[in-house]
Amino acid sequence: MSVDAGTELELADWRRQVSDLYAEVRRLAAGDPPAAWTVWREERERLYRDHPMSPVPSAERRNFSAKHFDYDPTLRFEVVVQAQAAAPEPAGPGLAAPGLAAPPAAALSLPNSGADVLAFHEIGSVAIPFPNHPPQALSLFWMEGYSGGLFLPFRDATSGHETYAAGRYLLDTAKSADLGGDPERGSLIIDFNFAYQPSCAFDPRWACPLAPPGNRLDLAVQAGERIA
């Protein structure tokens, strides 16, 4: 969504507060993930209710109350990112010499709730070891342009019933939604208790990139934000 004239400082403040919130979440979650989740819920509700850049329509903010599933400790994971396999290079003269880095993945457009088109490329995938289910794979994307960043959207069997029909976000590091990880191990923290609705779930005036068909989970993830 385009920013209206005169709101740039408000938007900068929104991003600053969200960044501070996720820094506190990562700090607390190192020792007490449920405490981090409580802070996350309370602070996001405050921002959605009180901040001028809230995605909630202004007429609904005063009485806004966020809805969440109960915290589920079995839905927090540290997973290793499996790199996207490079396409094989054809043989022939004038090609890149062996040992050079593979060409980056081609840019792609994810589904979008509005007219905006944002370019991404898939950098790999993560396999989520859900309890009592086979591992479920989710593609991990990098946002081109804007400020860059990891992006991990998903849909599941709650989508369209208890949660937004077009899915939820796990990570959007361009907007500071970052639960951490270990670059030496190539891992990310994926905690479905921190899954949240995109802005367009609250007001269609916002344009949001959405989960592609390959990021649909075949189970109900009853964790994180909900709408019913």
Q: How far is CA 58 from CA 2, 3, 50, 67, 203, in A?
A: 17, 16, 9, 18, 10
pLDDT in tens, 169-197: 999 999 999 999 999 999 999 999 999 99
Mean pLDDT of the chain: 88
- pLDDT band for 34, please (50, 70, 90 cuts): very high
90-123: b (≥16 Cβ within 10 Å) or e: eeeeeeeeeeeeeeebeeeebeebeeeebbbebb
